[in-house]
Structure 1
Amino acid sequence: MKIKKPNLNWGDILANLLALCAFIAIGLGLWLCYIFIIKMNGFDEEVWQDRNLLGMAGEFLGGTVGPIWALAGVILFFLALIYQKRELVLQRMELHESRKIMEDQSKTIAIQQFENTFFQLLNFHINAANHIRNTKINAKAKSNNAFDELYMEFKRETDKLKKRRKADAGGMSPSDESFENTFIAVFEGYKNTFQHYLENYKALLMFIKNKSHDPSFYYNIVKSHFTEQEVQVHFFYIILVSKNKELIEVIEKYHLFQKLNERAVADVDPYHLKKVDGMAFKKED
């Protein structure tokens, strides 16, 4: 097994060499001073009284020890700059780490805020859907489920439309516009029941698109709460009434018509199934 050699830090090596040079220079200056004092007999009284000798001593020390210590001072000043730079680098690293921690905390807070709103919207959607499933539109309604009743009434009206077109136009099929007008006319009778539910449905989908860090994950949560009856109403409303292109793109991209009973829709309105990309109906693998 090969032992990995540690990477050499040339900056540390240079700093250590400079520090060694500075201490050597200081030591050399002290040594020269000591030798000079010894040579001058410890500065006895005669030396102190001889001005010429003192001048020569000063010149000697100034010319030898002075430059050595000046060099040591320059080296120490340079070392101080190096260590100051290192401190600044460490401070920057700490600031970067602190900023990263703050950014992570901000992301966590943003996710928590998003999820609080998301689950509130989802809870409202579930409650509204449960209420609609237990709502009887009127005494003549054949079902206590408003989702079923809306679908069945739309089917009855489109059957009437087809019969009229067959009688009046010699078998000519209804147009896209006639299907849209028929659904809109039927939906007007259910508008009070479905309006808040559908508005929340659209708000929920667009909120995930615009605010989520992982839309696919949250759309999968939402899809798990949709029933086949709900998705039929979603399809008819979005395609025939709302016609919101941005919302349709979201539905296609994240397969939000996955639970749609295409056969049941085609039995009523086979034309508008082709208006949506097939990805909207894609089943999970």
Structure 2
Amino acid sequence: MSKPKSKLSRYELTGYILIMAGAAVLVWGTVKFDIWHELYLDPADREGGVFGEYGEFIGGIVGSLWALAGVFLFFATLTYQKREFELQRHELHKTQKIYQQQNFSTLYISFISKHNDIIDSLTAYDINKSAWKGTNFFVFFQEKVLTSFVQKVRSLGPAERTGENLRSIFEDYFTYHFTFYQNSLGPYLKNLSVLFKLIQRYRSETEDEGEYYSFITKASFTQSELFLIYHVAQFSLIREFSAFDDAFAVFEDLAEEYKAETIIRRELPQQ
């Protein structure tokens, strides 16, 4: 069974040892000078200077030991006060962090609610006048881009199907459809950008690298939604989304088959 650790500091232990040493010297001096015997003698029979020598002894040795003990105990008190201040500072930091988290949680919920409202308001119509609403809007947008790209590429001869040319065509069609729906997509992307900036600031202020707000946000993205955001970043239509990927790995869940590089590779002439 392990022994319990002493709760006394080195300063405190040294101070108590010095006090006990002073007490031991005091007892030894009392016996050495035979003070008890001197006290019971008639004043005329007492040896001259015994009490004076005893007083000098007590003041010189015992007094010094106890004064030194007082210094060590003073340092022990300072050490305990410093420890208390550290604990108070730590508790204050925890309280501030909890307060920051509560405030940010309220702000985050309001932005997520607004984000969902914006998605619900997204609407696009196909040639049959059928409405594609909410998250289906992103599916419709993705299909429009891919269909336009594939139809164009398959009208080209083998010599024209170079990687550079196909990438240029894909970017042109993506930019064209993005511009066409920009009035709808602008508020969505702007709100998403502000949301990630808020998370970034919260992470910086609280030094909380393990915050879960970015994980919650990313978990809500569909593949079609990631298709849109990924290529917005790839083609620098909104530059900060590239920085968000570096900070939050936004596109780690996007399937390779929905990335421009893979889509273009599938349309290259077979060797």
Alpha-carbon distance, 1:178 to partner: 2.5
What residue number does 2:142 align with?
Answer: 151
Amino acid at match of 1:20: M
What residue number does 1:82 align with?
Answer: 72
Is contact 1:158-1:179 (8 Å) kept? yes
Amino acid at match of 2:185: F
What residue number does 1:183 align with?
Answer: 174
Pairing 1:269-280 to 2, within 5 Å after superposition: 270-271=263-264
* 1:102 corresponds to which of 69, 92, 100: 92
Change in 2 beyond 3 A, CA 1:143/1:250: farther
Residue 223 (str. 1) matches residue 207 (str. 2): no
- Asked which structure has the greater RCO (Cα within 8 Å, sep 6+), the reply is 2
CA shift digits 1:176-218 (9 cap, x unpaired):
1232122212222211111010122233334434533245733
Amino acid at match of 1:112: Q
| Farther off after superposition, 239-248 or 122-131 | 239-248
Is contact 2:22-2:66 (8 Å) kept? yes
Amino acid at match of 2:215: N
CA shift digits 1:227-260 (9 cap, x unpaired):
3332232233232333553234356x355443x5
What residue number does 2:232 align with?
Answer: 237
**Between Structure 1 and Structure 2, whose CA radius of gyration is higher?**
1
What residue number does 1:19 align with?
Answer: 19
Measure, in 2, the Cα distance between the counterparts of 1:37 and 1:257. Answer: 95
Alpha-carbon distance, 1:90 to partner: 0.8
Pairing 1:106-255 to 2, within 5 Å after superposition: 106-132=96-122, 135-136=123-124, 141-145=129-133, 146-162=137-153, 166=156, 172-173=160-161, 174-212=165-203, 213-214=208-209, 217-240=212-235, 241-242=237-238, 244-250=241-247, 253=249, 255=251
Change in 2 beyond 3 A, CA 1:68/1:117: same
CA shift digits 1:88-134 (9 cap, x unpaired):
111111111111111222222233333333323222222211221xx
TM-score, normalisation: structure 1: 0.69
Amino acid at match of 1:218: Y
Structure 2 runs not aligned, ≥5 long:
267-271
Structure 1 runs not aligned, ≥5 long:
48-52, 274-285
Is contact 2:108-2:195 (8 Å) kept? yes
Residue 4 (str. 1) matches residue 18 (str. 2): no
Measure, in 2, the Cα distance between the counterparts of 1:7 and 1:142. Answer: 76
Amino acid at match of 1:4: S
* 1:73 corresponds to which of 49, 63, 66: 63
| Farther off after superposition, 214-223 or 106-115 | 214-223
Q: Secondary structure of the equivalent of 1:63?
A: helix
Measure, in 2, the Cα distance between the counterparts of 1:151 and 1:7. Answer: 67
Measure, in 2, the Cα distance between the counterparts of 1:16 and 1:172. Answer: 92
Measure, in 2, the Cα distance between the counterparts of 1:272 and 1:66. Answer: 100
Alpha-carbon distance, 1:87 to partner: 0.8
Change in 2 beyond 3 A, CA 1:68/1:205: closer
Aligned-pair identity (%)? 14
Q: Secondary structure of the equivalent of 1:144?
A: strand
Measure, in 2, the Cα distance between the counterparts of 1:203 and 1:272. Answer: 34
Measure, in 1, the Cα distance between the counterparts of 2:105 and 2:69. Answer: 53
Is contact 2:12-2:73 (8 Å) kept? no
CA shift digits 1:48-100 (9 cap, x unpaired):
xxxxx99x73x333234432343222122112112111111111111111111
Change in 2 beyond 3 A, CA 1:184/1:140: farther
Is contact 1:125-1:201 (8 Å) kept? yes
